[in-house]
Structure 1
Amino acid sequence: MAHTAYLSTTSLNTPSERLEDDETTVEMGATLPAALQPQEWPATLWVALLTTAIAVLFQVFRRPAFPKNAPKWYKKGDWPILGAVEFYYGRRADFTREALRDSKTGNFSFYIGKKQLVGISGPEGRKLFFESKDLNFPVAFAELLTGQPQPPSQEGHEDNFAQIFSKSLIPLMKKENFVKNLDLLTGDTRAACDALSAAAPSKANPDWRVTDPFESFYEIVYQLTMRTVGANDIAEDPKLLKHTLSIFDWFEKSDSYAKVIFPWLPTVNNYLRLYYGAKLAFVFRDIIERRKKTGKKGNDALQFLIDRGLTLTNIVGFEIGALFAGQLNSGINAGYLQIFLTQNPEWMARLREEVDSVVAKHRTSPSQSRADVLGTLTIEEWESEFPLIDLALRETIRFCLPGATFRKNISGHDVPIGESGEVIPNGAFAIYLIEDSMFGDWYTDKMKWNPSRYFEENAEDKRVPHAYMGWGSGRHPCLGMKFAKLEMALITAYWVGLFDFEFSDKDGNRISPTSSLLMNRNLHSAKKPEQNMYLRYKLREE
């Protein structure tokens, strides 16, 4: 209405009045400096501005050319400026396989934004990828999964975060730390099994209960991981445990491909990561401040980090990194291992016999239940007396590692790829397709879940160098391997020892899987299955 009234009033002005208004406007415009009147700028200035803009855009988006001795550039699916978008979204393994098939040497080059990537394969590529001192994993992880390059470590200055992370994690993965926490870990696992046994009966049959292992087992793994690398305050508070797990899940989902291409670009997902990182920081800040206020120290990883003098920022960064490394893979493996057992009666029987034998061996009283006996085992016994669970986990990992893994050439020079005559350019990233190792031709019936392939008389995972990379290989072994094996032994021994279980629908009807149990190889990391899977279970008789 006001706008309409303004137009009406203006239209009523006389011609002479409107002329006076126009003259006033001209006089006001004439008082502006020429620099503020683009219409008055000379052509030379416009040319200079346009040239500068083009130069800036050229520097921002220009791709450095691959050297002549780099593998051939695979251009299919390449987008200007963006690069091979499908490598990041939905076709990582397919893209890599297609490029390898198109290559005469088994190696190829491509771009992600301005970043140069080189896919390598075969014995020479595998050897280089896992053994070269010139190829760095933490730097590649930072730049290709978070979009944030790591600051270089300089003499006399604070270590970069990768070094802080490793120096903090290694002591926590030592045996003495597991010994200290063992009673808590077994207690948490037993309590989780007690909660499962107390769940409501299934709709289909009151003798059975139902669980989604990618929720219930995922939560157990998170609690055990929090016990080992986090804070007991969180591990012992169900509400806080659930709250921080939801923060972690949202943080993990907020990755940004745009940030990888344009590290300087403020993206929505980047702000979401900052937001969820801040929420987690508040949780740990409150715990730290409470300990300082009361003078009561904790007996956990958080206190270890505090005593080492880490800042809150580094503590939160460590917790996110440690939880990401431990939770994402182990949480998924824990669920799939039990699913695979339901489809393999032979190995279900083998694991049950192994658990029952250990229980019988260490039972000191007829009144002891299986859970009672498992709670008395030492670290040495957990690590040595469940070899079949370890093999079942090993085979599950083979099926649950999708995508490709990375290294960055930080040597300052081009790195030769074996005797191929080709190189990984200085500053470029080496890419290795995980299934090239995990599903190599040295595995018999490789699409079948079969832990017996690792028996000493078969040893299929040792037929060629770096034949199995489930726990890392070469210069980059998994720092958390011992803990991951321990928590899988705990969870599986309690679960197999205490319950009978079968694959079912959500109502408790026994069914066969309707979709493939093979994880989507195009994912960039382990994920929960797209379709929910369920197990029906009931307590075994003692």
Structure 2
Amino acid sequence: MSLRSRVFWRPALPKNAPKWWKEGDWPVLGALRFYSQRADFYREAINHSPSGNFSFYVGKEQLVGLSGPEVRKVFYDSRGLSLNEGFAELATGQPTTDGTTDSFGAFFSKHIIAMLKRENFVRNIDLMAGDTRKACEALAAAPPSKADPSWKVTNPFDSVYQIVYQLTMRTVGANDVADDPKLLRKTLSMFEEFEKRDSTLKVVFPWLPAPNHLLRVYNGARLAMVFQKIIDQRKKTGRKGNDALQYLIDQGAGIRDVIAFQIGALFAGQVNSGINAAWVQVHLVRNPEWLARVRDEVDAAVARHRHEESQAPADVLGTLTVDDWESEFPLIDLCLRESIRMTLPGTAFRKNASGRNIPVGSTGEVIPPGAFAAYWLDEVHMDESLYPDPLRFNPGRYFENPAEDQKTHHVFLGWGSGRHPCLGMKFAKLEMAIITAYFVAMFDVELSDKDGNLSTKAPRPVSRNQKQAEKPKEPIYLRYKPRAQ
């Protein structure tokens, strides 16, 4: 193919594909607004489509935007729609024609499922609780705030995010990193640089060495070198680790797959969980009724498991089993669910890898072979008929009206749905219970500014135009002090 064809040609849409939404389509580039103002773009396209579905281009790739309960079922339940290929090409710009994406996807799923089995949680629970307690004790030892020496200040999107990173590294990574505070901070910095270097230019022109993509490759290589050094050291000394990295080595996985798995597992387990763990603390501080209810739940668990009056709450929490963590904190679980609903913007992707047209419900329209499908999460999560007053933090909506989740198919998408449920859901819930319980048990917390002055200013809500969960652009601060027992 000539350079001119490579740049300017793009395939015509089949007649039975949803109508092309041309508003904002740029020659060669396609609908760049899908990446810069995703919610606005999607909402306008739905409103101008008789069926609620529409087609558009990103570069030369054909996409079909879907909407409505019947079509949502097609998106989440169809065997012909590939999650791995959809994510790889539209999120990273990596072509998948050689079949390596699905091959690695199968490798990743097989081993992440093995790592997240219950027996591994049981083995690691003391370490996870210990990591969280030490992190909270480090917060307690931080310098006092400028405004009031009785309070200290933290940005939870840094401090809580780092706790999630340590627990994730402990569970699907290497203990060598999780046990070394300096290496933990260093690799988290590498990971954050890797994660934020997504490149729309690379998606539009997959063959182009886009600057952001090159920076992502560079930071991925830096992370890979850390794991490579750990692997080499273990081989040299004959020492075996008791962690996920060692499991992969013992399974005979090649070095490229081992390192790709480590980076993929961090990517899958860190961003959404880290951001939601921070948002849960912010939502609780902003909603005193729910903070009091969660605190009562934590206090009740501590009281049930306390064997001696001299035991501090943190001592008692350190004795809890996996069964205890999974069964005794239902309100924390509801708070996490509500936080995910409110803070997870963007779209889910699939690629039609079936080689045939996939009918779009009863509309008469199809997703053409090789085309991508997108579904806008806010169509469900911000639907007032399903979630009244959707921008209000209200975990009680799930037990006030349990049937709410049964009104239609796939009504909560925060843990995946249909053929692709989130493989790490149980781990994410476990780490959320641990982090929130320790935080609530050990500290009194209030919203503040960076100097520790009490703040009544509501944090800016998550922009619905974001492509994915991300840290707030305007920092949010919490002031905290040891809780009076």
Q: How far is 1:463 from its partner?
A: 2.1
What is the TM-score with the length of structure 1 in the denominator? 0.87
Q: How far is 1:159 from its partner?
A: 7.2
Match of 2:74 among 125, 128, 139: 128
- Report if aligned partners of 1:201, 1:208 keep a CA contact under 8 Å in 2: yes
Matched, 1:231 2:177: no
Matched, 1:486 2:430: yes
**Aligned positions of 1:338-353 closer than 5 A:** 338-353=281-296
Task: Letter of the 1:477 partner, please give it.
Answer: P
Match of 1:445 among 389, 403, 406: 389
Matched, 1:462 2:409: no
- The match for 2:207 is 264
| Distance in 2 (alpha carbons) for counterparts of 1:309 and 1:458 | 46
SS of 2:396's partner is helix
| Distance in 1 (alpha carbons) for counterparts of 2:3 and 2:221 | 34
Matched, 1:509 2:445: no
Q: Percent identity?
A: 61
SS of 2:479's partner is strand
Matched, 1:61 2:5: no
- The match for 2:266 is 323
| Distance in 1 (alpha carbons) for counterparts of 2:443 and 2:459 | 25
| Distance in 2 (alpha carbons) for counterparts of 1:481 and 1:196 | 27
**Aligned positions of 1:370-519 closer than 5 A:** 370-440=313-383, 441-455=385-399, 457-516=401-460, 518-519=461-462
Q: How far is 1:322 from its partner?
A: 0.9
Matched, 1:250 2:190: no
Match of 2:29 among 55, 59, 82: 82
**Aligned positions of 1:72-111 closer than 5 A:** 72-88=19-35, 90-111=36-57
SS of 2:374's partner is strand
| Distance in 2 (alpha carbons) for counterparts of 1:515 and 1:388 | 23
CA shift digits 1:479-520 (9 cap, x unpaired): 00000000000000000111110100111111123443x211
Task: Letter of the 1:525 partner, please give it.
Answer: Q
Match of 1:289 among 232, 237, 251: 232
CA shift digits 1:75-134 (9 cap, x unpaired): 01000011001111x201110111111111100000001100000101111111111111
- Report if aligned partners of 2:168, 2:270 keep a CA contact under 8 Å in 1: yes
Task: Letter of the 2:87 partner, please give it.
Answer: F
Q: How far is 1:149 from its partner?
A: 2.2
Structure 1 unmatched ranges of 5 or more:
1-52
| Distance in 1 (alpha carbons) for counterparts of 2:403 and 2:181 | 43
| Distance in 2 (alpha carbons) for counterparts of 1:530 and 1:285 | 34
- Report if aligned partners of 1:151, 1:160 keep a CA contact under 8 Å in 2: no
CA shift digits 1:254-313 (9 cap, x unpaired): 111111112111122222122111111111111111111111100000001111122222
Match of 1:358 among 301, 312, 315: 301
- Report if aligned partners of 1:281, 1:312 keep a CA contact under 8 Å in 2: no
> Computing the radius of gyration over CA atoms, which structure comes out larger, 1 or 2?
1
Compared with structure 1, are the counterparts of its residues 59 and 206 closer, same or farther at alpha carbon in structure 2 (3 Å cutoff)? closer
Structure 2 unmatched ranges of 5 or more:
none
| Distance in 1 (alpha carbons) for counterparts of 2:459 and 2:173 | 36
**Aligned positions of 1:299-318 closer than 5 A:** 299-318=242-261
- The match for 1:215 is 158
| Distance in 2 (alpha carbons) for counterparts of 1:424 and 1:151 | 18
- Report if aligned partners of 1:254, 1:270 keep a CA contact under 8 Å in 2: yes
| Distance in 1 (alpha carbons) for counterparts of 2:6 and 2:441 | 62
Matched, 1:112 2:112: no
- The match for 1:16 is none
Compared with structure 1, are the counterparts of its residues 514 and 357 closer, same or farther at alpha carbon in structure 2 (3 Å cutoff)? closer
Match of 2:17 among 65, 70, 80: 70
Compared with structure 1, are the counterparts of its residues 56 and 216 closer, same or farther at alpha carbon in structure 2 (3 Å cutoff)? closer
| Distance in 1 (alpha carbons) for counterparts of 2:401 and 2:54 | 37
CA shift digits 1:290-342 (9 cap, x unpaired): 11111110000000111112222212211111111111001100111111111
